[in-house]
Chain A
Amino acid sequence: EAQVTQNPRYLITVTGKKLTVTCSQNMNHEYMSWYRQDPGLGLRQIYYSMNVEVTDKGDVPEGYKVSRKEKRNFPLILESPSPNQTSLYFCASRPLAGGPDEQYFGPGTRLTVT
């Protein structure tokens, strides 16, 4: 089944404790992206990747890191999480960086930083 998976689905952590949220897709998509969703603000793009080893900042990259060493995986790293990073996070992929293709979304990771 074609899908985007994220782990963990729920995470409660403390300020400053490094964490990684994994994202994997099995559709051989080139483009992958991370979003955060906060009430009243919709989805805001954190980082995106056009292909392996090619990443770029979205609208809200501060406090996050990403890497794309393999085509299927695009982990989101919070080196020193803070309470303002409490949010619902979505990973998504699409076949190509450009082009009229839909994005496929993962189920989301609800992160709470205390």
Chain B
Amino acid sequence: SQQGEEDPQALSIQEGENATMNCSYKTSINNLQWYRQNSGRGLVHLILIRSNEREKHSGRLRVTLDTSKKSSSLLITASRAADTASYFCATDATSGTYKYIFGTGTRLKVLA
């Protein structure tokens, strides 16, 4: 399987704390994206980082990318109860196909 992996699988934190989740992938990529999913509903795009970028910010989100280690991290600062959701990374490979590979996801629970 080409599927990426995320860790931790589940994370529980207090409101106001920071949440960090990591993603590893297997092939060379064009870009990496992070998505959010609220309990079995459709996914919502959060942020995209290109393969030639190392860090990107969007509001309370900070994404890093290390292509040498084939890994990325998503940091959510000052978390809120409304951030409770599952978070997935996704990559599209440079292999000449147009496949899209998702990670297995991190379930984040933010306690009020």
Report if A and B associate in a common complex.
yes
| A-to-B contact residues, CB < 8 Å | 31, 33, 35, 40-45, 48, 50, 56, 58-59, 88, 90, 92, 97-98, 100, 102-108, 110
Q: Which 6 A-B pairs have the closest CB atoms?
A: A102-B45, A105-B42, A43-B102, A42-B104, A97-B98, A105-B43
Residue of B2, B9, B103, B104 near A59 (CB, 8 A) is B2
How many A-B contacts at CB < 8 Å in the complex? 69
Q: Does B54 contact A (CB under 8 A)?
A: no
Least Cβ distance of B109 to chain A in Å?
16
Q: Are A100 and B31 in touch, CB under 8 angstroms?
A: yes
Residue of A40, A44, A97 near B102 (CB, 8 A) is A44
Least Cβ distance of A58 to chain B in Å?
6
On chain B, the residues within 8 Å of A44 by CB distance are 3, 102
Least Cβ distance of B46 to chain A in Å?
9
Q: Does B50 contact A (CB under 8 A)?
A: yes
